[in-house]
Amino acid sequence: MGHRARAAQHRDPRTGRYFAGAGSPFFGPKLWWADDPDGEWTQASGVQLPEGGDEALQRIWVIVPGERDGLLYAGGDPAVLFESDDNGESWRLNEGIWQHPTRGDWQPGGAEPADVAALLPTVVRVITGTANLREGPSTNTSIVGTLNNGQVVYVQGVNAAGDWYRITLPEDGTVAWLFADLTQVVSGEIEGLPEIAAE
């Protein structure tokens, strides 16, 4: 990465790929990735704001995994969100957030990280050896699948007590419940998720 100083680093637990936001007064902020942090780093493409605008990209401050394989989100200043579908090699601006009618109220002087973080999808990572997926929000219901340590899933909602998460597995569409204490939030917020009744 040469003269560019590394900023906050992130490692995608699904692929092991490393990311680093970096910047310089001359070239501005860039996003780099590497499968081996001690090896060669490659600059990701598409991390830029539309040309001709009044705002300039200041920095990338957070990178989180999305709800399906290959999907990543990168949030930065000023109140911007980028998305990648190829494990972080190329990125595109999330136009919905960039053109959001209240976006101007998220400033002035630069966005607070919570502004964009609240708009990210809620994704959790399994932090135990194996987590059973249940048919309903209880250990008394049938097991419909398992997740291994480090796997991430998109949370759609919670039960009334807030201690079980309703998820859908992207690979086969299985709807299941995951016990909250077996996970760690890596993106978005649990608070505000819809309450979903067990069927």
The structure's pTM equals 0.54
Report how far residue 32's alpha carbon sits from residue 108's, in angstroms, rounded to the nearest whole number.
Answer: 28
pLDDT in tens, 140-168: 999 999 998 888 788 889 999 999 999 98
Mean pLDDT estimate for the chain: 80
Q: Please, is 136 exposed, middle or buried when counting C-beta atoms within 10 Å of its C-beta (0-12, 13-18, 19+)? A: middle
Q: Are 147 and 130 in contact (CB under 8 A)?
A: yes
Higher pLDDT, 112 or 36: 36
Q: Give residue 5's pLDDT.
A: 39
Q: What are phi and psi of 196, to 5 degrees?
A: -120, 125
pLDDT in tens, 75-93: 888 778 889 999 999 999 8
